[in-house]
Amino acid sequence: MRFSLQREALLKPLAQVVNVVERRQTLPVLGNLLVQVKDGYLALTGTDLEVEMMARTALDAGSEDGETTIPARKLFDIVRALPDGAKITLTLAGDKATIQGGRSRFTLATLPANDFPSAENEDTTERAVVPESALKELIDRTSFAMAQQDVRYYLNGLLFDLRGDTLRCVATDGHRLALCEAALEGGQNKRQIIVPRKGVNELQRMLEGGDRAIELEIGRSHIRVVRDDATFTSKLIDGKFPDYEAVIPIGADKLVTMDREALRAALQRVAILSNEKYRGVRLETTPNLLQISSHNPEQEEAQEDVEVETKIEDITIGFNVTYLLDALSALRDEKVVLALRDANSSALLREASNERSRHVVMPLRL
């Protein structure tokens, strides 16, 4: 096996796959990348047995086909440390791989490619096509609300809810919920799957935006996301996601419309004097005015008035300010709407122009 490639052309696929590889492994080969050269293309694959990432790139002329596994971090660190514009040549001889770039030369120990675990090729039951920018937006707008190491293991991931010609992504940690949806091409599927947190993070890192078509292939226990230069595979969380539609407040007809950036800045300022443990802020509504306040155990207080569009009188409700700020960061419109029912019910935060992205935040007793 032998191939040559410019440093930057090799660094991009390496960066995509190296993060999948865990620093501590149960098997030595899991610390390696599978390196395959075939028909003028290089394929790099990393896995931790739960998530697999494979990146492809075209090679310079004169490559020789073959395959092996090379220590992932060492290969990545070597390529990253070589100077910009360097031409890198990798040659395999026996169980050693030699990397040359400029005046530098490195020899790495390899393990046989046969030892590398391959992802199960199970039958695909659902297929759908979505633009890359749309899938990236769905994950960016919702993944922050995933639970972390919750005993309710099905919350430690992101729900992909295929509903015919629509794909919804939903995340919740029990205190807040984020939902966003996008159109699918040729979608006739009805299926709910939960992608684990690590898989979501790697998928988010892989997606670059743009209008390239991304193909989703879903099997009984796997999801595969296929792009022309990369393939992502992840096991699914075996569990039932809660009925998230029941959490979206019904009858929240008390609307407060406001400038997103003005609200975000006011919340950040008031949060400075909030209780460090509970991060609580109080919102009080009067016609065309929203008063935001906080206090802490040191008897310090902060208060700010924000001009809004509303006819509501006298609703006082508390929230964790971090949850509000996270939701506002995931919205895009200049104007946002806060929909309230009463002081004890969850609130719905969405963009003023559409309901494609919705965020539910539970109230906090202050």
Residue 116 has what pLDDT? 96
| Amino acid (one-letter) located at 84 | D
**Is the dihedral angle over the CA atoms 106, 109, 111, 117 positive or is it negative?**
negative
Residue 209 has what pLDDT? 86
- 125-156 pLDDT per residue, tens: 899 999 999 999 999 999 999 999 999 999 99
Residue 210 has what pLDDT? 87
Would residue 366 count as lying in a domain?
no
Residue 285 has what pLDDT? 96
Would residue 196 count as lying in a domain?
yes
Q: Which domain holds residue 316?
A: 248-361
Same domain, 101 and 183: no
Would residue 140 count as lying in a domain?
yes
Same domain, 17 and 107: yes
- 184-194 pLDDT per residue, tens: 886 677 899 99
Question: To 10 degrees, the CA torsion angle through 322, 328, 329, 332?
Answer: 170
**How much of the chain, in percent, has pLDDT values that exceed 70?**
99
Do 183 and 134 meet the contact criterion of CB atoms below 8 Å apart? yes
- CA triple 178-183-184, angle to 5 deg: 115
Q: First and final CA of the chain: distance in angstroms? A: 66
> How many domains does the structure of the chain reveal?
3
Helix axes 197-206, 132-142, angle to 10 degrees: 140
For the record, the structure tokens of 151 come out as 């005993």
Same domain, 70 and 140: no
| Amino acid (one-letter) located at 169 | C
Among the candidates 222, 245, 268, a domain finishes at: 245
pLDDT tens digits for the chain (366 residues)? 999 999 999 999 999 999 999 988 889 999 999 999 999 999 999 999 999 999 999 998 889 999 999 999 999 999 999 999 999 999 999 999 999 998 999 999 999 999 999 876 778 889 999 999 999 999 999 999 999 999 999 999 999 999 989 999 999 999 999 999 999 886 677 899 999 999 999 999 999 988 899 999 999 999 999 999 999 999 999 999 999 999 999 888 999 999 999 999 999 999 999 999 999 999 999 999 999 999 999 999 999 999 999 999 889 999 999 999 999 999 999 999 999 999 999 999 999 999 999 999 999 987
Same domain, 159 and 199: yes
d(CA 139, CA 294): 31
Same domain, 128 and 241: yes
Would residue 339 count as lying in a domain?
yes
Residue 187 has what pLDDT? 65
Would residue 273 count as lying in a domain?
yes
Among the candidates 185, 211, 245, a domain finishes at: 245
**CATH classification of the domain holding 346:** 3.10.150.10
- Which whole-number Å values give the CA distances from 88 to 53, 74, 79, 106, 290, in the listed order? 23, 15, 8, 11, 60
Residue 121 has what pLDDT? 74
- Which whole-number Å values give the CA distances from 252 to 110, 232, 240, 345, in the listed order? 61, 40, 27, 9
d(CA 330, CA 337): 14
Same domain, 276 and 219: no
